[in-house]
Chain A
Amino acid sequence: MADALLKVDGLLKHFGGVTATDHVDLSVPSGELHGLIGPNGAGKTTLIHQLSGALRADAGTIFFNGRDITRASLHQRVHFGVARSYQITSIFRSVTVVHNLALAVLARSGSSLGFWRPLAREPVLFDEARALVNQVGLGGRENVVAGRLAHGEQRQLEVGLALATRARLLLLDEPMAGLGPEESQRMVALIAGLKGAITLLLVEHDMDAVFRLADRISVLDSGRIIATGTPEAIRNDEGVKRAYLGEAAPA
């Protein structure tokens, strides 16, 4: 896997006496949709935090596209091509949907040291933002203030913000959190639409969705990766079954 887009070697993170990330090795080739599952408290979000740059790892390295990004900050990694979404919706609640996405488009357009021309009169930004509105299935809702969107729509915008960075690797942290069955269907369709075009690391509790979408799946338990393989192989893995004992077994 020398040509993996994301390559993680021996990643380690302690919180006091707890080892939240325990020598994690992970390799995601370009174009893959890689599922990351595990029981509650397995350290999935902690891992995402380290991959995105929100948290520093105690040890280990993270390579992206052949570049060592272990010490790069959150915003630097976005420019390298790694972006994330949040499990707890993190959007700009007081501005419209299209304005949210225009900000993310703006982040890519070099310097934002414009002091004179109103942002609202920058058609290029807003044209691209509107295209993104449609891509994430919020067509017709672009002028709604984001805080007034339904929960499911906010989740779509959440993914849209990550998508708007045009990153090559998206780290999606439980995009389906709190969604009803119908909204989940929409989200699955949205992610399925991204598959192939972008490399995705998908953390999700919705087993149905992960097993349907992922090319390969890694299972995290107590900070350690206990299995990696195709959905079929993971489904039949004895170690995985044991880890999930007491929780709903993978379908």
Chain B
Amino acid sequence: MRNGLAISMLVLLVAFPLAAKHWDQLFYVSFASRILIYALAASSLNLILGYGGMVSFGHAAFLGTGAYAVAILMAEGVTSAWLSWPLAVMVSALFALVIGAVSLRTRGVYFIMITLAFAQMAYYLFISLRAYGGEDGLNLAARSRVGFGLDLAGDLTFYYVVLALVMACLYLMQRLLSARFGQVVQAIRDNETRMEAIGFPTYRYKLICFALAGGAAGLAGALLANQNGFVSPNLLQWTQSGTLMVMVILGGVGYLYGGALGAAVFLILEEALSAYTVHWQLGLGLALLAIVLYARQGLAGLLAGSAAERR
């Protein structure tokens, strides 16, 4: 049943652009790419927030770092995706490692604040980078080159590359979560003191998890830079971190597809509501309020029907 749902979802995702092309609605293909990219970003936040119990309010820093890595490399003449995307992942993961190493020494509200503070520092750092556009941001000359006769300039091609990468990441995340590492991280979320007391160096596991999530967000950033053809410090602003958090809460904290579901619903709502009113955030706010009050497990929790699915 669950497999059936996953397969039909995948078929839909693969077939959708062809239908859009047939009816000449390529805008929706580009929109779907955006959803997929945010699905990856939100899922990476869900890894630390939902599974690791680390409520980070600075996740946009890693998204933005990945995006800037690609844009800066391109400005310097590095156009190959094979080079710039993995570099974006590594730089973001390293950045997360450093931020995490300091932040994870704190807990609760202090952790939220310190991750926010680091992200804001990164935000101002990119504003101060005059050579790369400063406050105005930086245009990408073109989309990254992947070779093999594929041209990412085509929205269809780009969509399928994004789809493949996002699906691969979600699959890796699923493997990781049921393997030793993921099980340890989830147990730390549930009872950190006891994990220490049975011999786990919990700090180390949390830090690795934090860095992995940072790397995944960096990949999302690299894709986003390509999608938009433009990067700016706004990508790192705290509202962006908030958006990612809202996506995770909307979709389902600690559910494998919570981040993806939340990203899809958030962006579709934004798109649909903003066609009617500039106050679209009001509608979104109400939706979020309803979720927090009546469906703590988010939409994925509602779909799963019970909390038994959790973990």
Instruction: Please indicate whether A and B come from the same complex rather than being unrelated chains.
Output: yes
In the complex, chain A residues whose CB is within 8 Å of the CB of B130: none
* Contact present for B175 and A75 (CB under 8 Å): no
- Knowing that A74-B196, A107-B195, A116-B176 touch, tell me 14 more A-B residue pairs with CB under 8 angstroms: A54-B197, A74-B197, A90-B191, A93-B191, A94-B310, A95-B187, A103-B195, A112-B200, A115-B176, A115-B181, A116-B175, A119-B178, A119-B179, A119-B182
* Contact present for A107 and B180 (CB under 8 Å): no
**B side interface size, CB within 8 A:** 27
Q: Give the shortest distance, in Å, between B193 (CB) and chain A (any CB).
A: 6
| Interface 0/1 of A122-139, CB less than 8 Å to B | 100000000000000000
* Contact present for A106 and B190 (CB under 8 Å): no
In the complex, chain A residues whose CB is within 8 Å of the CB of B200: 75, 107, 112
**Of the candidates A91, A117, A119, A122, which one forms a contact with B194 in the assembled complex, judged by CB atoms under 8 Å apart?**
A91
In the complex, chain A residues whose CB is within 8 Å of the CB of B172: 115
Number of inter-chain CB pairs below 8 Å: 97
Cα-based distance from A118 to B191 in the complex (angstroms): 21
Q: Can you report 28 A-B residue pairs in the complex whose CB atoms are below 8 A from each other?
A: A52-B197, A54-B197, A73-B201, A74-B196, A86-B197, A90-B191, A90-B193, A92-B191, A92-B194, A94-B190, A95-B187, A95-B311, A103-B195, A103-B198, A106-B183, A106-B184, A115-B179, A115-B180, A115-B181, A116-B175, A117-B179, A119-B180, A119-B183, A120-B178, A161-B194, A161-B197, A162-B197, A162-B198
Cα-based distance from A119 to B176 in the complex (angstroms): 10
User: Which segment of A19-27, A76-84, A201-209 sits at the interface?
Assistant: A76-84
Q: Which residue of B lies closest to A85 (CB)?
A: B197
Q: Give the shortest distance, in Å, between B43 (CB) and chain A (any CB).
A: 16
* Contact present for B198 and A104 (CB under 8 Å): yes
A114 contacts B by Cβ under 8 Å? yes
Q: Which residue of B lies closest to A89 (CB)?
A: B194
Name which of A73, A78, A86, A103 has the most chain B CB atoms within 10 A of its CB. A103
A108 contacts B by Cβ under 8 Å? yes
* Contact present for A78 and B205 (CB under 8 Å): no
B202 contacts A by Cβ under 8 Å? yes
**Of the candidates A73, A118, A120, A165, which one forms a contact with B198 in the assembled complex, judged by CB atoms under 8 Å apart?**
A165
